[in-house]
Amino acid sequence: QKEVEQNSGPLSVPEGAIASLNCTYSDRGSQSFFWYRQYSGKSPELIMFIYSNGDKEDGRFTAQLNKASQYVSLLIRDSQPSDSATYLCAVNMRYGNKLVFGAGTILRVKS
């Protein structure tokens, strides 16, 4: 089992729709969770972080965390073509004391 798993996609959504990106992790002791966006040819950029169960909203982005199910998700409302990128889930693993990234989900927003 991979430490952090994401569906590689691509996930295609029409402009204006909600994009839902999912991530599961293996270490139950993990305590902080991050979503990064990476455009082609660029480095990852932090867009959201979440520590507690429930939802955290920031503009068009909502991060959701369910520690019991070891599941993190990112919702992007009113998706725009500029949101087209690879979205990386990252988990601070208590086991091994390191920040581990998933392989990323490619999102394509079609206008």
Scanning residues 7 to 66, which ones bind other proteins (CB under 8 A)? Answer: 31-32, 34, 36, 42-46, 49, 51
| 71 belongs to the binding site for other proteins (CB under 8 A) | no
**Which among 16-24, 53-61, 76-84, 93-101 is the span making contact with other proteins, rule CB under 8 A?**
93-101
Q: Length of the chain, please? A: 111
Q: Which tokens hold the place of 5?
A: 């798993």
Nearest CB to other proteins, comparing residues 44 and 65: 44
Q: Which tokens hold the place of 11?
A: 């996930």
Nearest distance from residue 84's CB to other proteins, in Å?
A: 18
Per CB under 8 A, the list member of 90, 105, 107, 109 interacting with other proteins is 90
Buried/exposed code over 79-111 (b: 16+ C-beta within 10 A; e: otherwise) = beeebbbbbbbbbbbeeeeeebbbebbbbebee
Nearest CB to other proteins, comparing residues 6 and 79: 6
d(CA 83, CA 73): 16
d(CA 91, CA 93): 6
Q: Where does this chain bind other proteins (CB under 8 A)?
A: 31-32, 34, 36, 42-46, 49, 51, 88, 90, 92, 96-104
